[in-house]
C-alpha cells in the first residue's frame, strides 16, 4: 500500500478505525473522513501510535450534509491528485426518525446518498489513480430491503430496521451499477457484509 492514498469514512470507530490502523501499518496514506473531530483526533493519535505511520490525517466530513460533502471533495482535490481506494464505511441506525440537513430520512441520506455524492465528486481523482477501488460497506440485511420511493424524505412511518435494510440495499444496487458504468475506467467497485 506504499504511495497509495485511501479515504475511509467513519474511520474514528469500529471497522473504519481498525481498517485505518491496518492500512496505515501497510504504509498507505490514510485520510480519516469523520464528522466528530474530537473523536477523530483521539482515534488518529491511537492509530499513529500503534501503526507507526505518520501518513494519517483527519479531514472533516458530515455525510448528513451535501454542503459538507462538497467541501470535503474540494479540500481533498486541492491536496491530492488521485485516490487509490475510497472506502465508504460510515453508517448509522437512529431509532427515532431524523432528517438530514437536506431533508432526507437520515439512514437513507447518510448510509446511501452521502456516499453516492462523495463517490461521484471524487471520480476525477479515482480516474487519475489507475486501478482505483470503491468499496461500500453494506450488510446482508440488504436481502430484507425494499426501495420505497415515498420514504426518502421521511414521508412514511419510520421503522429503523426497515430504513436500515433499504439503505443497505441501495448500497448494493449503487455498487453494481457503478461497477457496470465504470468497466472501461479502470475503477473496480465492491460491496461487503462486514460480519456480525
- Residues recognised as catalytic: 164
Output phi, psi for 6, to 5 deg: -125, 130
- Are β-strands 56-60 and 85-88 bridged in parallel, bridged antiparallel, or unpaired? unpaired
Q: In whole angstroms, how large is the CA radius of gyration of the chain?
A: 16
User: Which residue in 110, 170, 166, 90 sits closest to 158, CA to CA?
Assistant: 166
Locate cell 479502470: which residue?
186
**Which DSSP state fits 135?**
E
CA 124-106-84 angle, to 5 degrees, is: 25
d(CA 12, CA 31): 11
Bridge partners, residue 10, by sequence: none
Amino acid at each position: 500500500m506504499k504511495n497509495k492514498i485511501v479515504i475511509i469514512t467513519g474511520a474514528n470507530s469500529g471497522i473504519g478505525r481498525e481498517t485505518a490502523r491496518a492500512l496505515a501499518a501497510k504504509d498507505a496514506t490514510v485520510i480519516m473522513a469523520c464528522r466528530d473531530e474530537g473523536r477523530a483526533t483521539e482515534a488518529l493519535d491511537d492509530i499513529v501510535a500503534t501503526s507507526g505511520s505518520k501518513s494519517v490525517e483527519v479531514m472533516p466530513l458530515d455525510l448528513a450534509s451535501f454542503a459538507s460533502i462538497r467541501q470535503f471533495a474540494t479540500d481533498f482535490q486541492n491536496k491530492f491528485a488521485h485516490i487509490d481506494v475510497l472506502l465508504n464505511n460510515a453508517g448509522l441506525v437512529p431509532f427515532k426518525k431524523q432528517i438530514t440537513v437536506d431533508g432526507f430520512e437520515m439512514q437513507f441520506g447518510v448510509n446511501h446518498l452521502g456516499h453516492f455524492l462523495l463517490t461521484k465528486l471524487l471520480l476525477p481523482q479515482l480516474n487519475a489513480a489507475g486501478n482505483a477501488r470503491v468499496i461500500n460497506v453494506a450488510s446482508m440485511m440488504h436481502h430484507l430491503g425494499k426501495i420505497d420511493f415515498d420514504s426518502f424524505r421521511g414521508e412514511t412511518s419510520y421503522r429503523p430496521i426497515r430504513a436500515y435494510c433499504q439503505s443497505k440495499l441501495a448500497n448494493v444496487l449503487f455498487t453494481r451499477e457503478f461497477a457496470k458504468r465504470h468497466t472501461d475506467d479502470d475503477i473496480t467497485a465492491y460491496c461487503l457484509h462486514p460480519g456480525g
